[in-house]
Structure 1
Amino acid sequence: MNDATSHPSAVGTPSCAPLLPAAAPRESTSRVIAEALREAIIDGTLAPGAPLRQDAIARHFSVSAIPVREALRLLETEGWAKVAVHKGATVAPLSADEAREIYEIRSALESLAIGLAIPRHTPATLRECAVLCEAAEREPDPSLYVARNAAFHMSLYAPAARPQLEDLIRVLHRRGERYLRLKFGLPSYKGESDNEHTELLDAVRRGDVPAAQSLVAGHLLGTGKLLHRFLTERAQAEAALANRPKPRGRPPRTTTGS
């Protein structure tokens, strides 16, 4: 018998096959934890700067510290968490520059996607787009609106049949979700966004590629600029408040005997 095929550590041999799936349970556990934390960050349950304590998370999920560390490492690589030596992990802060950049990249990718998709749309796919557009417009709940907004956008690009492009766009949708929720503090902009969706759908129905690309780019770049301005102004206001001198208390009154 050949030593290369009988040795249990030989790469690519049948004896190694049963060992490969062994890491799957822990990996899936860490991903489940990461997804739960991600959802809590998106919906605001975990606020920017909130601590992500490994021991508390491990107790909550009834797991050891290992999958929690892996989950936090994954969130850090995706930009959801910040990990500092000797300080632990915290929820990443909202960033005006990040918000703007996410929507700048989305505008480029989604302009490409919609141009590829329009020639391949059918009456059935256009009906689906219309249903999803109306569902997003009527949705008052921020959590559900974010999902319906993403579903509408992705329905416009689905006929392009570009899975890698769609995956990139979905990742950016996820990264932008907690920023998009800020629009609900600005109701007039929600209505403006819905009107832009309707105009975009009309251009897709007409098969007008240049108009659709211009509309989707303007829609996304406008959102990025709005969020950048809102977050910048909020940060400036918070800084001004923090630097405001504290009023001095009045000196205690003294009394004299009569």
Structure 2
Amino acid sequence: MTTHKPDVFAASSFRDAQFEPRQSTSRFIADALRAAIVEGSLLPGEPLRQDAIARQFSVSAIPVREAFRQLDSEGWVTIEPNRGASVSLQSADEAREIYEIRASLESLAIGIAIEHHTPETLATCRALLEAAANEPDPALYVVRNEQFHMSLYAPANRPRLMELIGQMHRRGERYLRVKFGLPTFKGQSDAEHEAIFEAMRARDIEAAQRLVARHLLATGELVYRFLSEAQAFAQSTHAKKRRRPAARHAATSSTGEAKP
């Protein structure tokens, strides 16, 4: 487990962001930490030093603790008594469940929204689709991706449904970055987005719902397999390292000399 890097936010897209009038300090810090996790500047399992982060933002410890609690509620950070906060480990099961939930919520939302789309809202969707397709930066892509998806559902005028979808997007950001790094993902995802948009523009509710659900469920399964395989490999490597000392001990005689 590595130690907290004092300059971890130097590469963050939030480093030069301006405070909004109604944006609280704790919210700003939480956004910056979330961005650093998505970008890979903060790694799974890495401890978050409250005092160092407070110095980084020139604030007291109170807003940092509030940011930790917010991120803990969203699954980004784990807070343990007497040990403090650390970046939550990635979970294959959580990734799959997040995308299962998204598939259900977003297929519902697009079904409601289709009949309320106008030429103007469709133009917005098209512009956001193209922005995501042309975005090479993984950290910015997760933002463009969410903007496109949310634009599909906005005309539904279901604020509570949109809030739930937004929560799932935020919980899934770090897993979307995993998928972004896999071969052929970008082109495939862009093509699926295009198909969803065309079904929506054609007012084909059944096709749009099917394509959104398929797109999200496939993402969840892909990330689930990737993380499961990575976990299995890590466990296998750890087991081999534990067996090596035992093997060396067995090869040593009771006199302390290695057996021929």
Tell me the TM-score normalised to structure 2 length.
Answer: 0.81
Match 2:220 to one of 220, 224, 227: 224
Counterpart in the other structure of 1:79: 75
In the TM superposition, what is the alpha-carbon distance from 1:100 to its structure 2 partner? 0.6
Does 2:187 match 1:191?
Answer: yes
Q: Which moved more, 1:64-73 or 1:90-99?
A: 64-73
Structure 2: gaps (5+ residues): 1-20, 253-260
Q: Which amino acid aligns with 1:246?
A: R
Distance in 2 (CA, whole Å) between partners of 1:246 and 1:75 is 39
Q: Which amino acid aligns with 1:224?
A: G
User: Alignment identity in percent?
Assistant: 62
Does 2:158 match 1:162?
Answer: yes
In the TM superposition, what is the alpha-carbon distance from 1:202 to its structure 2 partner? 1.1
Whether contact under 8 Å (2:35, 2:139) holds in the other structure is no
In the TM superposition, what is the alpha-carbon distance from 1:65 to its structure 2 partner? 2.0
In the TM superposition, what is the alpha-carbon distance from 1:107 to its structure 2 partner? 0.6
Counterpart in the other structure of 1:16: none
Match 1:62 to one of 34, 50, 58: 58
Per-residue CA deviations over 1:40-84 (Å, capped at 9, x if unaligned) read: 112211111010111211222222222222221222122111111
Counterpart in the other structure of 1:19: none
Match 1:104 to one of 81, 100, 103: 100
Distance in 1 (CA, whole Å) between partners of 2:130 and 2:63 is 41
In the TM superposition, what is the alpha-carbon distance from 1:192 to its structure 2 partner? 1.4
In the TM superposition, what is the alpha-carbon distance from 1:215 to its structure 2 partner? 0.6
Q: Which moved more, 1:156-165 or 1:229-238?
A: 156-165
Rg larger in structure: 1
Distance in 1 (CA, whole Å) between partners of 2:117 and 2:64 is 44
Counterpart in the other structure of 2:244: 246
In the TM superposition, what is the alpha-carbon distance from 1:169 to its structure 2 partner? 1.0
Does 2:35 match 1:39?
Answer: yes
Distance in 2 (CA, whole Å) between partners of 1:218 and 1:50 is 34
Does 2:197 match 1:201?
Answer: yes
Counterpart in the other structure of 1:123: 119
SS in structure 1 opposite 2:244?
coil
Q: Which amino acid aligns with 2:119?
A: P
In the TM superposition, what is the alpha-carbon distance from 1:224 to its structure 2 partner? 0.4
Distance in 2 (CA, whole Å) between partners of 1:233 and 1:133 is 31
Counterpart in the other structure of 1:180: 176
Counterpart in the other structure of 1:14: none
In the TM superposition, what is the alpha-carbon distance from 1:229 to its structure 2 partner? 0.6
Note closer, same or farther for the CA distance 1:235–1:209 as it changes in structure 2 (3 Å cut): same
In the TM superposition, what is the alpha-carbon distance from 1:184 to its structure 2 partner? 2.4
Match 2:24 to one of 28, 37, 44: 28
Does 2:233 match 1:237?
Answer: yes
SS in structure 2 opposite 1:246?
helix
Counterpart in the other structure of 1:51: 47
Distance in 2 (CA, whole Å) between partners of 1:198 and 1:32 is 33
Structure 1: gaps (5+ residues): 1-24, 252-258
RMSD: 2.1
After superposing on structure 2, the runs of 4+ consecutive aligned residues of structure 1 that deviate more than 6 Å are none
Q: Which moved more, 1:141-150 or 1:242-251?
A: 242-251
Per-residue CA deviations over 1:104-130 (Å, capped at 9, x if unaligned) read: 111111011100110011122212212
Per-residue CA deviations over 1:172-193 (Å, capped at 9, x if unaligned) read: 1111111101122213122211
Tell me the TM-score normalised to structure 1 length.
Answer: 0.82
Match 1:132 to one of 125, 128, 133: 128
SS in structure 2 opposite 1:187?
coil
In the TM superposition, what is the alpha-carbon distance from 1:234 to its structure 2 partner? 0.4
